[in-house]
Structure 1
């Protein structure tokens, strides 16, 4: 595998709690990888380490040939990697369109906003066009002028994806994009992610919904107690002994339906 993202021997502890233990993985360009594991297995911490929100205690992270483990989060975005959050918090005094535009400003730099130059005006027009396009693609145009905080949970997650895409990333990492989302909006999220991947986007998705994983992902990486215990296709999860032990305990001999329930 030619690695687009490579994580090597990453470790992270919070006090006496060792959350990640010698984690190594590779992700190729164009993959849709599900990052799975029971609660407390280290999934969100690994996502935070990769994207620069949490410094690792040890190990290396390389994205498209560039070492990024020492970069701040905003500098990692500039390399072509963006992320969403499990519980996106939206400002109450900004509209959906304004939030999308602010995401673009964060990417291009605040000086272009403050200095009223010809280049800044052009950048603003391009950002607005980009925001309009993404809001339309993710079905948020009807609410573009509403306060972002007034959106439903599912719409906030769609707006989080819009904000991440304003940076024009080549890899997108998502933290539980369908958790608590209405089934109708869940379908919209699935469709949007499949369309992004078809256009060349590499995706890494933390998710608990096994139906979503089978529908969207091409490969699954499973964490348990801070260690990777499996890397396999979604249809192989239910027959993988290490995965079954991670979710249901070493003594369990569960059925496929039991794993789905987990």
Structure 2
């Protein structure tokens, strides 16, 4: 699928190879403002490489990536983040000597960190107070206010993923990319993540989510883009996946008489 007009994120004819291995081949899709799009595909399909090209961790061989019409391919990761793309990671690592609140505040790109502490200018103090206020609001919204003073490294896996979302949101992104937000998460916290993401979307946040939990995809995503061997094989609603022959083939290969409803949305 080519990106629709006025897409917030536009990926057009993107290709990427490593040592002659074509990992991404002519990948094109768009994410409109306010959408939650699931990025799916079996292991080795190119999902991580695609995320890394969008975020600026990898360069593309050809094609174009635009955010709100502006080319961002070729920009370093910090400039892509400054342009408005936030990202969480599958296995978030948290510092041992910082509290949950301190980690959230440190993630604010407008916060001057140790410079603000040393200089203590009026502007720096205002920036610090604004970061503290925003961090407190996000920790409350993401259900982490009760653990705000605990060491970030002491959180459960699911709570670390929620804190990762808080940190990404501290930079006020226009697009939030989530890498397997529910992998290894306790069912209770999984429900909290679903509720939190729906609330963020209701406030206008646009999201691109890599996830293997198909029930989560059904609950959260409005559209799915499916990769297989570096190519897009489907761009459709979650409830259409089970009827797509290319998607079934990508996931199931030679498995005979599959129980499709147990494998796909």
TM over 0.5: yes
In structure 2, what is the Cα distance between the partners aligned to 1:185 and 1:112?
36
Q: Is the 8 A contact 2:222 2:238 kept in 1?
A: yes
Match of 1:50 among 44, 51, 54: 54
Q: Is the 8 A contact 1:77 1:107 kept in 2?
A: no
Shift of 1:108: 4.7
1:33-60 deviation line (CA, Å, top 9, x unaligned)? 0000001111111111101122222221
Structure 1 position 212 matched with structure 2 position 212: no
Structure 1 position 185 matched with structure 2 position 169: no
In structure 2, what is the Cα distance between the partners aligned to 1:58 and 1:109?
37
In structure 2, what is the Cα distance between the partners aligned to 1:243 and 1:124?
48
Q: Look up the match of 2:130.
A: 126
C-alpha change, 1:230 and 1:168, in structure 2 (3 Å) is: same
In structure 1, what is the Cα distance between the partners aligned to 2:133 and 2:44?
41
Q: Look up the match of 1:138.
A: 142
Shift of 1:11: 1.4
C-alpha change, 1:20 and 1:109, in structure 2 (3 Å) is: farther
In structure 2, what is the Cα distance between the partners aligned to 1:124 and 1:109?
8
Aligned positions, number: 260
In structure 2, what is the Cα distance between the partners aligned to 1:250 and 1:227?
19
Report SS of the residue matched to 2:107: helix
In structure 1, what is the Cα distance between the partners aligned to 2:257 and 2:243?
10
Q: Is the 8 A contact 1:35 1:43 kept in 2?
A: yes
Q: Is the 8 A contact 2:46 2:229 kept in 1?
A: yes
Report SS of the residue matched to 2:13: strand
In structure 2, what is the Cα distance between the partners aligned to 1:151 and 1:107?
26
Structure 1 position 82 matched with structure 2 position 91: no
TM-score when normalising by structure 2: 0.93
In structure 1, what is the Cα distance between the partners aligned to 2:110 and 2:256?
48
Q: Is the 8 A contact 2:112 2:128 kept in 1?
A: no
In structure 2, what is the Cα distance between the partners aligned to 1:14 and 1:94?
38
Q: Look up the match of 1:238.
A: 242
In structure 2, what is the Cα distance between the partners aligned to 1:80 and 1:120?
23
* Gap runs ≥5 in structure 2: none
Q: Is the 8 A contact 2:139 2:148 kept in 1?
A: yes
Q: Look up the match of 1:32.
A: 36
In structure 1, what is the Cα distance between the partners aligned to 2:255 and 2:214?
22
In structure 2, what is the Cα distance between the partners aligned to 1:110 and 1:68?
27
In structure 2, what is the Cα distance between the partners aligned to 1:222 and 1:156?
27
